[in-house]
Chains A and B, each alone.
Chain A
């Protein structure tokens, strides 16, 4: 038994409740963004709880904007931005969890990037994407193009390395005795 086994007390009814909506949305997306959708994983067919849309990097913001603003999609709530380290040629997958507050269903958008290649920033679509993208940069070193202020967020700004990469050592120290100074530039 795995995720395909529906649990009634834990989102088990989603597939029957939203299956039709999801299929329609995926067909719509494929029609509108011809060629920009690399791959789609659907619940039940694949081991996932909601559909995963793999988008080409250069059209990501367009797709996110479309998902947010188009009637019938209305994924207005950005639940999360994160990444995974797949240790393959296309090393990182940046993951966007979206939630539609009117349709009450969720969807996941992913974009695959090799190391050293930047992802377009979603700050123009959601202002709140700012810190989430900074965290992805801090933890994985994925650059976001067009981000207003891409600095480390959880770690010290002088930190070397990106901790959530799979090749990052688990033990080790980097000790800073001086505090991080105030940056007057950011108060202008």
Chain B
């Protein structure tokens, strides 16, 4: 039964004397409304706020706000020693804290000209890929939960917990890892770690296939995601998209392959690319990237050999505990290292790495002191969140939730 616009309009009780302006685009009289979504709405992951002008259910115009969890990381970077700042990097993208740790350590090492031994690099690569898998699992999982596919999320989340157990074996912490040190690592991987890692990889491969079968061809999932939240290749270029979100729109670029650091040249992997740049493609790219990360992980486990994990550079080497506890010089060294820190030679560098969300960059300017002159963190989420408003213009409000979940905004690296 269809009612005419006039009939519907007459059903709305309006206060006497209230005149409805005639607007031909309006669905019915006075249907435009301004809605505040967030900052504490469960669909807005983290503390994000979107102010949207709705016409019925359609978002006509919107703007986004953030900064509710701003912790002045960049200012802290200028007021903490280079060693101290490692723990703050955990709290950037907290879904993949290890990637932040590694990128930060690499950026300071680049400024100091410190080379780390081979085993250290392999363990760091394992950390990065493990963190990438964890990040992608949570992204596709939560995206599915937002759209109503709850069991899919549990499959991934279980495997993610197992991955956290592996991380716990490496560094004792699950979420805020602080695993890297400048010039090395907090500790070596325990005996038999490679074997456990490979067992986890094999298990996760099966789980990913299961997840893929469960959701990818599901009719409802496809209806909710295909053609939703489209962001074209050109738009992605304009808004500096990077990582899986850019690859979903057809930008064939992966910094691991194209600007390789660590030993990414020595491992084989493909870079999954899609063409349409919608929610479904971002999901597909992430699922396929998990598979590639698992390939890299098993190659790393094979290629890793026993050896030292610390650089021999005296400036950054944390003194051994036996030396600290038994010698005067060792104690002084230890005290100086942790109280005043080491000096980083003057210079500036922008170190980038393909984090789970895109290009994570640390731009550090040093003036030769123990603290940075400028510690800039380029989080990919800032650039992705900026594009949310243009991305969802003209879409339904429920599709905004799908789009937001698919670009994986992490409030930690957004607000810094």
Q: Which of A20-64 touch B at CB < 8 Å?
A: 47-50, 52
How far apart are the CA atoms of A150 and B72 in the complex, in Å?
20
The residue that A139 contacts in the complex, of B74, B116, B263, B386, with Cβ under 8 A, is B74
How far apart are the CA atoms of A24 and B154 in the complex, in Å?
54
Interface readout for A105-137 with B: 1 if CB under 8 Å, 0 if not?
010100000000000000000111011100100
**Nearest CB of A to B50, in Å:** 11
**Nearest CB of A to B250, in Å:** 12
How far apart are the CA atoms of A39 and B27 in the complex, in Å?
59
Instruction: List chain B residues, Cβ under 8 A from A76.
Output: 237
How far apart are the CA atoms of A184 and B63 in the complex, in Å?
10
A164 located at the interface, meaning its Cβ lies under 8 Å from any Cβ of chain B in the complex: yes
How far apart are the CA atoms of A48 and B386 in the complex, in Å?
30
Q: Which of A59-98 touch B at CB < 8 Å?
A: 76-80, 82, 84-85, 95, 97
In this complex, the member of A2, A9, A76, A128 whose beta carbon has the largest number of chain B beta carbons within 10 angstroms is A9
Residue of B nearest to A95 (CB): B363
Known contacts: A154-B415, A187-B61. The answer to whether A47 contacts B378 by CB under 8 A is no
Query: Is B346's CB under 8 angstroms from A82's CB?
Result: no
The residue that A2 contacts in the complex, of B111, B115, B262, B382, with Cβ under 8 A, is B111
Query: Is B349's CB under 8 angstroms from A164's CB?
Result: no
B350 located at the interface, meaning its Cβ lies under 8 Å from any Cβ of chain A in the complex: yes
B413 located at the interface, meaning its Cβ lies under 8 Å from any Cβ of chain A in the complex: no
Q: Which of B365-407 touch A at CB < 8 Å?
A: 365, 373-374, 376, 378, 382-383, 386-387
Known contacts: A170-B79, A187-B51. The answer to whether A11 contacts B261 by CB under 8 A is yes
Interface readout for B102-119 with A: 1 if CB under 8 Å, 0 if not?
000010011111111000
Instruction: List chain A residues, Cβ under 8 A from B34.
Output: 182, 184, 187
The residue that B347 contacts in the complex, of A47, A101, A135, A155, with Cβ under 8 A, is A47
Query: Is A79's CB under 8 angstroms from B382's CB?
Result: no
Instruction: List chain B residues, Cβ under 8 A from A158.
Output: none
Instruction: List chain A residues, Cβ under 8 A from B361.
Output: 79-80, 97
Q: How many residues of B contact A (CB 8 A)?
A: 63
Q: Which of B156-164, B251-259, B324-332 contacts A (4 or more CB under 8 A)?
A: B251-259
Known contacts: A47-B348, A80-B361, A126-B238. The answer to whether A9 contacts B262 by CB under 8 A is yes
How far apart are the CA atoms of A76 and B238 in the complex, in Å?
8
Query: Is B63's CB under 8 angstroms from A49's CB?
Result: no
How far apart are the CA atoms of A1 and B72 in the complex, in Å?
31
Known contacts: A170-B75, A184-B34. The answer to whether A97 contacts B383 by CB under 8 A is no
B317 located at the interface, meaning its Cβ lies under 8 Å from any Cβ of chain A in the complex: no
How far apart are the CA atoms of A10 and B75 in the complex, in Å?
26
How far apart are the CA atoms of A133 and B50 in the complex, in Å?
20
Instruction: List chain A residues, Cβ under 8 A from B115.
Output: 7-9
Known contacts: A7-B109, A163-B72. The answer to whether A128 contacts B387 by CB under 8 A is yes
B126 located at the interface, meaning its Cβ lies under 8 Å from any Cβ of chain A in the complex: no
How far apart are the CA atoms of A108 and B349 in the complex, in Å?
10
Known contacts: A49-B349, A131-B386, A184-B34. The answer to whether A7 contacts B113 by CB under 8 A is yes
Known contacts: A104-B258, A108-B350, A155-B70. The answer to whether A182 contacts B51 by CB under 8 A is yes
9 contacts between A and B (CB under 8 A): A7-B109, A9-B115, A10-B262, A47-B345, A108-B350, A131-B386, A154-B416, A156-B67, A183-B63
